[in-house]
Amino acid sequence: MSKLLNIAELFPTKLSAFVFFAYIALFVNQGILVTATKEADSKYSYSTFSFMKLLSSIVANSKVLMLYFVPAFLYSLYNNLTFVNLSVFDPTTYYLLMQIRVVITGVVFQVLFKKQLSKKQWFSLILLTVGCIVKQLHTTPSLPHDETTKLSGTSPQMYFYFLLILMQVFCSCFAGVYNEYLLKDVGADVHLMLQNVFMYLDSIVCNFIVLLLNGEAHTAFSSESLESVFKPLVIAVMINGSACGIVTSVFLKNLNSILKTFAGALDLIFTATMCWIVFGIPIDRYTVISIAIVLYATYLYSQNPVVNKGRLETTSTEKAEVREKLIDESSIV
């Protein structure tokens, strides 16, 4: 059984297994809460000592704080490109094109961590991509011609918007893997929750700059905007979203970006199932086929999972080498 399913490498500790399933559960819950906030028209209408201690920690780790501007900026760019690309491509085409991020994540992971994925790991990633694509084939209804901007395949602008899709994919993949790199390498000695503070502070700065550039900073805090924010379901979405962000950092600290792509795919499956139970949204044959492919891809990956402990892994290897050297020297004596 151990040859078929390598649980020990897939989940090195009980905490990592808990984090994996908590990650999926929170994101499934996020999808359900966001759907529940829809209106009828389908629209989405502290102590001084602690503060000073936090401030001193931020100053002491200012280098890591600045490095977090990289993923913060990329995530901000990703979110804004979502609106741009969805205004050009129909939702089905958009989500189909976005699925290449599964494979791109593998490429970026190899480059940043200098780890080569095996053929079996690559095959499971490609199979996972296929499963995600199948899920999108019949889940989004076609929009009327006057509701979606259509670009012909020969349109000069098509190449530009396709580059924007690739840019959005890169932002998603590089930000996720670079975040893992900061957690396990450059910022390995910085407390996890402090790194979350860095990420959110930098994200606030980046998004505020976007508001300024768009001339929307003065309307973001209007009474009408604040009134829509303080609805119970919207607050629930924000709380659950914050929990998702924290669990994601714990996920990347204890596991890795590759396993995160599998968790994201399983998230799609569980979301579809829960929406069927809660909202009565039917599950079509494409979803069933997608579930089968994703589960098989996950099974293949679990046989030979990626292990990435970052600097901790390097330190453990060095200690093991020193230990072996001492044993050899003592045996000679």
In this prediction, residue 46 carries a pLDDT of 46
∠ at Cα 175 (172, 177), nearest 5°?
A: 105
> CA-to-CA distance for 104 and 170, rounded, in angstroms?
7
∠ at Cα 118 (131, 266), nearest 5°?
A: 30
List of residues 6+ apart from 64 with CB closer than 8 A = 182, 186, 187, 190, 195, 198
Task: From 90, 24, 41, select the one nearest 271 (Cα to Cα).
Answer: 24
List of residues 6+ apart from 81 with CB closer than 8 A = 164, 167, 168, 171
- Please count the CA atoms within 13 angstroms of the CA of 43 that sit on its side-chain side: 3
In this prediction, residue 147 carries a pLDDT of 46
In this prediction, residue 312 carries a pLDDT of 61
List of residues 6+ apart from 10 with CB closer than 8 A = 259, 302, 305
> CA-to-CA distance for 230 and 63, rounded, in angstroms?
35
182 DSSP assignment: I
* 265 exposure class (CB count in 10 Å sphere: 0-12, 13-18, 19+): buried
Encode the chain (333 residues) as per-residue pLDDT tens digits.
555 667 888 888 888 888 898 899 888 888 787 777 766 666 666 455 677 888 899 999 999 999 999 999 999 999 999 989 988 888 778 888 888 999 999 999 999 999 999 999 999 999 999 998 898 776 544 444 444 445 555 567 888 889 999 999 999 999 999 999 999 999 999 999 999 999 999 999 999 998 898 888 888 888 888 888 888 888 888 888 888 889 999 999 999 999 999 998 888 778 888 888 888 888 888 889 998 999 999 999 999 999 888 776 655 555 545 455 545 555 554
